[in-house]
Amino acid sequence: MPRAGARRSRAGGTSAGRDLERYGAKRRFEKTPEPPPRQRRSTTGRLFVVQKHRATQLHYDFRLEGSGVLKSWSVPKGPSLDPAVKRLAVAVEDHPVDYASFEGIIPEGEYGGGTVMLWDRGTYRLDKGTDLATALRRGEVVFTLLGRKLKGGWSLVRLRGRSWLLIKRRDRSASSRDVTLTAPNSVLTRRTLARIAAAEGGDVRKAASGDPRKNARRS
């Protein structure tokens, strides 16, 4: 973490700004439609978003807004509503808050090339009376999600390094059903990954491999 009074980065902050520079350094914005690395706060300051991303492998990007950025984790198997199931979540570079509305195609050959779906979004509330940066430093984030698919109590618990666990807490929104199979479509457009790819010039066959064979009627 930078010392107080450290030189501000080009992205507009100290630690969060430098983390956004990592995001920007991996991308060529003349090639990709992803938003540029701008640090800002949303209206609520408490956005959460989950993006289903068929890149080299299918995974889900889980993001919580804090300090003008989206703190981000890659969840290979996606969130589970079952409190007995602990999902690995690998911390990745911060993303700009504008990324919370991104759905589309990252061109092949670019970093993360593939199809991105806005799988869930809403707001969150921290449950232990602290700020997100402090909770992250302590290695435990306890929060409530108010989304379309993900609701109720959750925890992020650090194992070591960039490895965390994403865990559903026991409450009325807990379930044994696999929400990635029963609600596979976009909350923005109700499209599957394959339909997003077909409409926006992506690799339809690659995208379709990230969709369930039979999509649920309701998402």
The Cα diameter of the chain in Å comes to 55
Q: Is residue 97 part of a domain?
A: yes
Residue where the block lists tokens 């997100």: 132
pLDDT digits (tens, 9 = 90+) for 119-153: 999 999 999 778 999 999 999 999 999 999 999 99
pLDDT of residue 128: 78
Q: Is residue 50 part of a domain?
A: yes
pLDDT of 167 over the 70 cut: yes
Band (pLDDT 50/70/90 cuts) for residue 9 is very low
Band (pLDDT 50/70/90 cuts) for residue 174 is very high
Contacts of 167 (CB under 8 A, 6+ apart): 83, 86, 87, 154, 155, 156, 157
pLDDT of residue 3: 35
Q: Is residue 198 part of a domain?
A: yes
In whole angstroms, what is the distance from residue 43 CA to residue 1 CA?
Answer: 27
pLDDT of 6 over the 60 cut: no
Q: Is residue 166 part of a domain?
A: yes
Q: What is the mean pLDDT of residues 91-115?
A: 97
Q: What is the mean pLDDT of residues 210-219?
A: 66
Q: Is residue 6 part of a domain?
A: no
**Is the separation of the CB atoms in 71 and 63 below 8 Å?**
yes
Band (pLDDT 50/70/90 cuts) for residue 214 is low
Higher-scoring residue by pLDDT: 177, 1: 177
Query: 140: domain range?
Result: 28-208
144: β partners = 125, 153
pLDDT digits (tens, 9 = 90+) for 29-46: 999 999 999 999 999 999
pLDDT of residue 39: 94
**b/e for 10-28, b at 16 or more Cβ within 10 A?**
ebebbebbbbbbebbeebe
Residue where the block lists tokens 């570079």: 93
Q: Is residue 98 part of a domain?
A: yes
In whole angstroms, what is the distance from residue 65 CA to residue 44 CA?
Answer: 9
- How many domains does the structure of the chain reveal? 1
**Is the separation of the CB atoms in 79 and 180 below 8 Å?**
yes
Q: Is residue 57 part of a domain?
A: yes
pLDDT digits (tens, 9 = 90+) for 43-76: 999 999 999 999 999 999 999 999 999 999 999 9
pTM, to two decimals? 0.90
Q: Is residue 3 part of a domain?
A: no
Parallel, antiparallel or unpaired: strands 104-106 and 114-126: antiparallel
